[in-house]
C-alpha cells in the first residue's frame, strides 16, 4: 500500500465562532450521529477495505458530547486531532506500540467521512488510513505498513521511502519503483533486496506478497535496469558478464550471434541456436509475455529459473549488440537442474533439447495445480471423440507456450497376437524420433592367415549380412581365397592374444568395426573329439623373456609379442618334439634356422651324428619332455612354468610319444630356438589355473630368449601382410528421403521381449504389434534422425545421407485425422533450422544451420563463428535434428512483421512495456 494523500473531505475546522455555530446547526441530531458512527464500527472487517484511526481522547470527548446531548461549547470536541498518535509532525510517522482501545479507535471509511464532514480534521494532519489484510486464519487492520527504501542500481545513494502493505505484491513494488524513477515503458527491470548479511538476493517471483517474501521495514530494495545490449549491470559487476569486452561497441543483425564453446559444449550451442531461431518462441520471450506465466511453484519445474536463464540468453542474442556471447550462466543453470549435463563432457544435442523443452514447459506451465486425469482409451469409440478427449486431458495438466508451439498427437494402436484385443490411445508428443532405413549388409575388414608359411597374411574386405553369423563371414571370405569355409577359424585378436575364438553359429553383431579379426586356415577344429582322426588345432602365443628373473609368479618375466597362431597338428605328431618342428615350419618365413656352424649340441658338449640319432632308442626320446635338453634349462623352466607347464609332464592332449616318433627324419640335434609350455587363455602359466581348464583348451606358449629372438626372429617380416584386391571395395550407401524415414516410423512393429504389453483381455504380458500414426501436428515440428544405433554388442553412427526438402514438406499422406481440404497449409512445412553432428560415437562436433526470422537469410553457426550460407549447402550427411515450421504459421508471422514499424536493434529486443526478469 503506497503512502496515502490527505482525504479531500477532511476540511479544516471553521475558525470563527459564527462559522462553528453554523456548522453545528448543519449537523444531524446527536442521536443520529451516534447511530451512524456506531453502526459503521460494528460492521465486519473485509479484506482490502480502508479503516481510519481516530485518537481515543478525541473520540471519547465526542462520545460524551453526543450521548449527554449537551451542545454547550465546553463539551464540543472540535475538529479531529490525532496529534497524539504521531512521533513527529514532519514525517507523520505513527508512534510505536499503539494499542487499539487504549490509544486509538478504528472507524470504517463511511463513519470516518461522517465525522470529517461534521467536525473537520486538524489543519495539516493527514488522515491515518489503514487497510484490512487477510492473514492465515484471521483478518486484521494493518496498523504498521512496511516502509521500503527504493534505490536504482545505477544510483545507490538516492533512496525513496515508500509504504506498502504486507499483502501488496512485489509487482506493485516494482511498478511503483518504475514510476518513481521514470523508467521508460520498453525497458526491462528487476528487483534485488539487501539481506541482513549485507549480500543481495533476487526477488524472482513478483506475484508473491511482501509478507511471503519476508520483507521488513527499512529494507533496501534495488531496481536494476537492463542494458541495451541485453545484459544486466549486476552480471558485469559480479564477473558473470556473458559478453566479451571487444563486443561492447558492436551493432549488427539481431539473432546473428555466436555462442562460445566452454569446453565440449558445442552440443548445447547447437540446440540453443536451433531453438533461438523458432520465431514464435523467440518473440514470446522478447515481448516479455513469459513474465506473467512463470510458474515458480511447479514441483516438476525448475522454479522458473531455467525459463529466466533462457530468456536472458535470447535477449542478449537478439539485441544486435554482440558478435558472440559466453553462455556460462545458462550452462551452470542446466547443470544445476540436470546432473547429467554437469561438467564438460560431450553430450547429445537432441538429449539437451528434450530436457530444455520439458523444463521450459514446466517453468511456464499455466496450470498451477495439476488435476488427476485417467488414461483415455478408445474402447470402440470414434477416433475423433477419443482424440479430442485425450488432447483436452493433456491441456488440463499441460498448458504452455511449449505445448502451443511443439506438441502434437499420436494415435497408438496395439494388437494382442493371441486374442486379437485392440487398444487405441492418443498420446501427445514433442518431437519425432524417426529411424533411418538400415542397410541389411555390412563390410568387415579381416586378415586371412593361410597355412602355407610362404604366403603372407592377406587383408580382405568382405560384405556380410548385418544379422548373419560367423559362418556367413567364412563363406564370403571363401570366395576370395578358395579355401573351404569349414577350414577356417575366426578369432578376435587383442594385445597379442586371442580375445575370443568364435563358433560358426556366433552372431556377427558381436564383431565391432574396430576389432582386429583374424581368420586362420586350418585342417581341423580346436575342440578335439575323442576317436576322431582330424588334426588338432592348437592356439599358440609368442612370448619373450625379460632380463629380470626376480619374480614371484611364474609368468611375470614373460612378455607377449607378435600375432598369435592357430596351428593344425596331426594327431600322430602331437608331441613336444613334433609340435616344435611344425612350428619351425609354420614360422619359416620369418624365423631363420641355425646354420651348421651354429650346431653346438647340448651344453654338455655331446656330439650327435646321424648314426647316434638312428641308434637312439624310443625310450630315450620319450624321456625328452620338451625341446630343451639341458638339465639346467629344465630346472629353470620348471621354476618359471609351474605345475601347468609342459616341461614336467606331457600336454594333456599329447598322444603316446612312443608311437611314430621314429618316422621323423633323422637329424643332428640342433640348438633349440624356443621352449614350449602349456598356458591358460591369457598366455600366462598361472599356478591357480585348474587342471580342468587346461584340459579344456590346449593353449601353447613359445618362449624366446632375447638373444635368440634377436638373432633368428625377423619382426619386420613377421608383421608383413598383403592387401587383396577387395580391400578397395566400398559399400555404396544410397541416399534416403526424409519421407521414407517417416513412413518407417509409422510401420507396424512387434514389441521387444524387454518391453511387453499387458493385455487386459488375456490378463498377461504379450509381444503385441504396435503402430504409431500421426493424428495432429504442431506449429513447429522437430524431427530427430536416429543416427546413433545401440545394441548389446555394438554402437555405431549411421552416416546415411537423408535428403530433406527446404520448403513444402507435405505431411498430408501421414496425418490420419480427417483433413481440412480447404486449408492445405496445415500439412505443409518449411525448414527453419538444422542441428548437425560431425564425427563418430566417441568424438564429434555439433553445428547449426538456421534461418533468421527477420531477414530470411540462412546462417551457419559453429560455436562463436557465424557466417551466411546458401540453401544448397544445408543438406548433408551430418544433419541430425530438423526444425520445420508449418506454412500457415510462417505466413501469419510474415504478415505481422510487415505491418510493424521498423525499429532499431535495441528497441527491437524490448518492444513492450512489460519488464524483464531473468536470472
CB 464 within 8 A of CB 537: no
722-723/757-759 β-pairing = unpaired
For residues 367 and 402, give the distance between their C-alpha atoms in angstroms, rounded to a whole number.
13
Q: In the structure grid, which three cell numbers stand for residue 527, read together?
A: 575342440
Residues across the chain: 919
Q: What DSSP assignment string belongs to 843-858?
A: SEEEEEEEE-TTT--E
For residues 606 and 777, give the distance between their C-alpha atoms in angstroms, rounded to a whole number.
93
For residues 13 and 77, give the distance between their C-alpha atoms in angstroms, rounded to a whole number.
11
- Active-site annotation holds for 266: yes
Question: Per-residue b/e over 248-287, b at no fewer than 16 CB within 10 Å?
Answer: eeeeebbbbbbbbbbebbbbbbbbbbbbbbbbbbbbbbbe
For residues 546 and 760, give the distance between their C-alpha atoms in angstroms, rounded to a whole number.
69
What is the CB neighbour count within 10 angstroms for residue 791? 9
Cβ-based neighbours of 300, under 8 Å, separated by 6 or more: 362
Choosing from 336, 496, 724, 845, the catalytic residue is: 845
Closest CA to 150 of 97, 210, 208: 210
Could you tell me where the beta strands, DSSP code E, fall in 44-188?
A: 50-55, 104-108, 129-135, 138-141, 146-152, 155-164
Bridge partners (DSSP) listed for residue 679: 699
Choosing from 204, 257, 266, 726, the catalytic residue is: 266
What is the CB neighbour count within 10 angstroms for residue 898? 7
CB 831 within 8 A of CB 883: yes
Question: Per-residue b/e over 543-573, b at no fewer than 16 CB within 10 Å?
Answer: bbbeeeeeeeebbebbebebbbbbbbbbbeb
Helices 328-337 and 305-317: crossing angle in degrees, nearest 10, is 160
For residues 719 and 563, give the distance between their C-alpha atoms in angstroms, rounded to a whole number.
8
Backbone angles phi, psi at 218, to 5 degrees: 85, 0
Closest CA to 600 of 514, 693, 529, 669: 669
Q: In the structure grid, which three cell numbers stand for residue 232, read together?
A: 544486466
Q: How far is CA 715 from CA 152, 562, 565, 594, in A?
A: 79, 8, 15, 17
Q: In the structure grid, which three cell numbers stand for residue 174, read together?
A: 516494482
CB 651 within 8 A of CB 683: no
Q: How far is CA 771 from CA 344, 749, 763, 845, in A?
A: 39, 7, 21, 34
- Active-site annotation holds for 274: no
User: How does DSSP classify residue 100?
Assistant: B
Bridge partners (DSSP) listed for residue 558: 545
CB 657 within 8 A of CB 649: no
Q: What DSSP assignment string belongs to 867-888?
A: EE--GGGS--TTEEEEEEEEHH
Cα torsion for 552, 558, 564, 569, to the nearest 10°?
-70
CB 167 within 8 A of CB 133: yes
For residues 474 and 458, give the distance between their C-alpha atoms in angstroms, rounded to a whole number.
14
For residues 571 and 536, give the distance between their C-alpha atoms in angstroms, rounded to a whole number.
7
For residues 857 and 155, give the distance between their C-alpha atoms in angstroms, rounded to a whole number.
42
CB 163 within 8 A of CB 173: no
Closest CA to 771 of 429, 411, 381, 416: 411
CB 204 within 8 A of CB 302: no
Instruction: Cite the active site residues.
Output: 266, 845
Amino acid at each position: 500500500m503506497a503512502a496515502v494523500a490527505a482525504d479531500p473531505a477532511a476540511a479544516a475546522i471553521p475558525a470563527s465562532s459564527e462559522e462553528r455555530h453554523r456548522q453545528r446547526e448543519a449537523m444531524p441530531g446527536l442521536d443520529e450521529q451516534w447511530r451512524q458512527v456506531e453502526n459503521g464500527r460494528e460492521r465486519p472487517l473485509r479484506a482490502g477495505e480502508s479503516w481510519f484511526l481516530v485518537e481515543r481522547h478525541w473520540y471519547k470527548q465526542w462520545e460524551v458530547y453526543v450521548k449527554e446531548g449537551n451542545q454547550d461549547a465546553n463539551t464540543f470536541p472540535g475538529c479531529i486531532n490525532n496529534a497524539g498518535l504521531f512521533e513527529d509532525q514532519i514525517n507523520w510517522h505513527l508512534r510505536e506500540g499503539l494499542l487499539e482501545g487504549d490509544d486509538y479507535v478504528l472507524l470504517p471509511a463511511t463513519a470516518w467521512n461522517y465525522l470529517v464532514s461534521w467536525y473537520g480534521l486538524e489543519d495539516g494532519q493527514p488522515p491515518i488510513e489503514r487497510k484490512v489484510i487477510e492473514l492465515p486464519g484471521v483478518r486484521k487492520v494493518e496498523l504498521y505498513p512496511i516502509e521500503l527504501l527504493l534505490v536504482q542500481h545505477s544510483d545507490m545513494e538516492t533512496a525513496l521511502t515508500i509504504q506498502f502493505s504486507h499483502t501488496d505484491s512485489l509487482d506493485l513494488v516494482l511498478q511503483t519503483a518504475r514510476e518513481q524513477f521514470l523508467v521508460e515503458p520498453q525497458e526491462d527491470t528487476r528487483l534485488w533486496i539487501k539481506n541482513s548479511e549485507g549480500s543481495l538476493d533476487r526477488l524472482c517471483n513478483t506475484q508473491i506478497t511482501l509478507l511471503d517474501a519476508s520483507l521488513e521495514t527499512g529494507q533496501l530494495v534495488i531496481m536494476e535496469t537492463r542494458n541495451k545490449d541485453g545484459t544486466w549491470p549486476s552480471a558485469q559487476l559480479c564477473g558473470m558478464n556473458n559478453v566479451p569486452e571487444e563486443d561492447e561497441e558492436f551493432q549488427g543483425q539481431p539473432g546473428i550471434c555466436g555462442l562460445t564453446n566452454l569446453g565440449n559444449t558445442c552440443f548445447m550451442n547447437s540446440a540453443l541456436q536451433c531453438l533461438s531461431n523458432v520465431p514464435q518462441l523467440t518473440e514470446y520471450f522478447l515481448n516479455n509475455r513469459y513474465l506473467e506465466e512463470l510458474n515458480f511453484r511447479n514441483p516438476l519445474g525448475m522454479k522458473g529459473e531455467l525459463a529466466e536463464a533462457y530468456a536472458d540468453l535470447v535477449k542478449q542474442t537478439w539485441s544486435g549488440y554482440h558478435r558472440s556471447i559466453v553462455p556460462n550462466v545458462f550452462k551452470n543453470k542446466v547443470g544445476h537442474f540436470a546432473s547429467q549435463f554437469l561438467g564438460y563432457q560431450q553430450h547429445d544435442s537432441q538429449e539437451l533439447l528434450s530436457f530444455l523443452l520439458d523444463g521450459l514447459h514446466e517453468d511456464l506451465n499455466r496450470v498451477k495445480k495439476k488435476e488427476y486425469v485417467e488414461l483415455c482409451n478408445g474402447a470402440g469409440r470414434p477416433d475423433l471423440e477419443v482424440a479430442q478427449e485425450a488432447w483436452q486431458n493433456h491441456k488440463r495438466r499441460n498448458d504452455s507456450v511449449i505445448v502451443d508451439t511443439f506438441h502434437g498427437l499420436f494415435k497408438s494402436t496395439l494388437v494382442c497376437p493371441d486374442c486379437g484385443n485392440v487398444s487405441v490411445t492418443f498420446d501427445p508428443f514433442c518431437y519425432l524420433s524417426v529411424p533411418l532405413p538400415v542397410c541389411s549388409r555390412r563390410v568387415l575388414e579381416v586378415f586371412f592367415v593361410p597355412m602355407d608359411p610362404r604366403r603372407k597374411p592377406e587383408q580382405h574386405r568382405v560384405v556380410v549380412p548385418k544379422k548373419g553369423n560367423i559362418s556367413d563371414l567364412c563363406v564370403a571370405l571363401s570366395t576370395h581365397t578358395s579355401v573351404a569355409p569349414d577350414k577356417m577359424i575366426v578369432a578376435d585378436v587383442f594385445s597379442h592374444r586371442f580375445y575370443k575364438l568364435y563358433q560358426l553359429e556366433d552372431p556377427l553383431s558381436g564383431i565391432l568395426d574396430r576389432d582386429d579379426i583374424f581368420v586362420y586356415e586350418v585342417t581341423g577344429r580346436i575342440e578335439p573329439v575323442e576317436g576322431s582322426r582330424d588334426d588338432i588345432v592348437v592356439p599358440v602365443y609368442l612370448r619373450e623373456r625379460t632380463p629380470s628373473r626376480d619374480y614371484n609368479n611364474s609368468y611375470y618375466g614373460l612378455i607377449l609379442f607378435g600375432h598369435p597362431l592357430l596351428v593344425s597338428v596331426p594327431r600322430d605328431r602331437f608331441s613336444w618334439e613334433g609340435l616344435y618342428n611344425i612350428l619351425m615350419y609354420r614360422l619359416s618365413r620369418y624365423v631363420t634356422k641355425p646354420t651348421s656352424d651354429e650346431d653346438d649340441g647340448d651344453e654338455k658338449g655331446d656330439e650327435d651324428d646321424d648314426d647316434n640319432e638312428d641308434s637312439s632308442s624310443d625310450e630315450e626320446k620319450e624321456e625328452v619332455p620338451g625341446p630343451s635338453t639341458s638339465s639346467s634349462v629344465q630346472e629353470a623352466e620348471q621354476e618359471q612354468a609351474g605345475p601347468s607347464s609342459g616341461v614336467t609332464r606331457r600336454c594333456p592332449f599329447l598322444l603316446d610319444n612312443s608311437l611314430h616318433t621314429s618316422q621323423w627324419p633323422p637329424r643332428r640335434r640342433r640348438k633349440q630356438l624356443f621352449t614350449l609350455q602349456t598356458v591358460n587363455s591369457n598366455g600366462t602359466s598361472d599356478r591357480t589355473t585348474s587342471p580342468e581348464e587346461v584340459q579344456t583348451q590346449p593353449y601353447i606358449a613359445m618362449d624366446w630368449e632375447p638373444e635368440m629372438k634377436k638373432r633368428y626372429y625377423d619382426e619386420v617380416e613377421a608383421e608383413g601382410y598383403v592387401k587383396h584386391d577387395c580391400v578397395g571395395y566400398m559399400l555404396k550407401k544410397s541416399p534416403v528421403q526424409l519421407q521414407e524415414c517417416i513412413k518407417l516410423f509409422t510401420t507396424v512393429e512387434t514389441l521387444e521381449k524387454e518391453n511387453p504389453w499387458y493385455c487386459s483381455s488375456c490378463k498377461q504380458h504379450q509381444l503385441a504389434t504396435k503402430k504409431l500414426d500421426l493424428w495432429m501436428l504442431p506449429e513447429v515440428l522437430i524431427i530427430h534422425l536416429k543416427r546413433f544405433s545401440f545394441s548389446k554388442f555394438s554402437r555405431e553412427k549411421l552416416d546415411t545421407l537423408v535428403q530433406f526438402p527446404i520448403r513444402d514438406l507435405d505431411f498430408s499422406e501421414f496425418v490420419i485425422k480427417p483433413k481440412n481440404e480447404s486449408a492445405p497449409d496445415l500439412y505443409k512445412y518449411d525448414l527453419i533450422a538444422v542441428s548437425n553432428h560431425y564425427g563418430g560415437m566417441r568424438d564429434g562436433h555439433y553445428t547449426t544451420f538456421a534461418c533468421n526470422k527477420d531477414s530470411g537469410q540462412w546462417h551457419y553457426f559453429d560455436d562463436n563463428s557465424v557466417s551466411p550460407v546458401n540453401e544448397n549447402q544445408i543438406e548433408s550427411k551430418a544433419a541430425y535434428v530438423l526444425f520445420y515450421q508449418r506454412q500457415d504459421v510462417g505466413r501469419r508471422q510474415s504478415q505481422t512483421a510487415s505491418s510493424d514499424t521498423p525499429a532499431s536493434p535495441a528497441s527491437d529486443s524490448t518492444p513492450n512495456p512489460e519488464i524483464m526478469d531473468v536470472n
